[in-house]
Amino acid sequence: MTNCFLILFQVVINTLAQLLLKKGVGMINFGESLWKLLILIVSNVYIVGGVFIFVFSLLLWLYLLSQFDLSFLYPFGSLSYILAAIGGWFFFAENITLCRGGGIFLILIGVLLVAKS
C-alpha cells in the first residue's frame, strides 16, 4: 500500500511541478535579452518552486525505479497526462476537446490494465 501511495504521490508532484512551471512562464516576456530573461526566470517563485518540486519528484522516481520493474512503473507516469489536462483546464482555462478526452480515457484504461498485471 505504501508503494502504491508513493507511485501516485510521485505522479501528483511531478504534475504539480509542471503546473507551477506553466504558471511561471506565463508571467515572463521571452522577448527580453538573455540576461534579463535569466534574472526573470530565477526570480520567479513559481518557476523556482516548480524546479524544486521537480527535483524532489526525480529523487522519488529514482527510489521507485529501485523498487519496481520499469515496465510496471513507467506507465503510471502517463497518469500525469490526465492530471495535467485537468490542471490545465482548471487553472488555465485550457480546452479539453472530445478527442483529447477520449485519449485521456484510453490512457486511464491502459494504466489500470498495467496496475492489474
Q: What is the DSSP string of 57-99?
A: HHHHHHHHHHHS-HHHHGGGGGHHHHHHHHHHHHHH-----HH
pLDDT of residue 32: 86
Q: What long-range pairs does 68-75 form, CB within 8 A, spacing at least 24?
A: 68/3, 68/7, 72/114, 72/117, 73/7, 75/110, 75/111, 75/114
d(CA 81, CA 96): 12
pLDDT at 101: 92
For the chain, 117 residues long, the average pLDDT of each consecutive 10-residue run is: 88 97 94 92 97 97 94 88 94 93 92 83
- Give pLDDT, residue 71: 87
pLDDT on residue 90: 95
pLDDT of residue 1: 66
Q: Residue 110 and residue 26: Cα distance in Å, rounded?
A: 32
Give the per-residue pLDDT at 115: 80
pTM of the model: 0.87
Q: So what's the pLDDT on residue 75?
A: 86
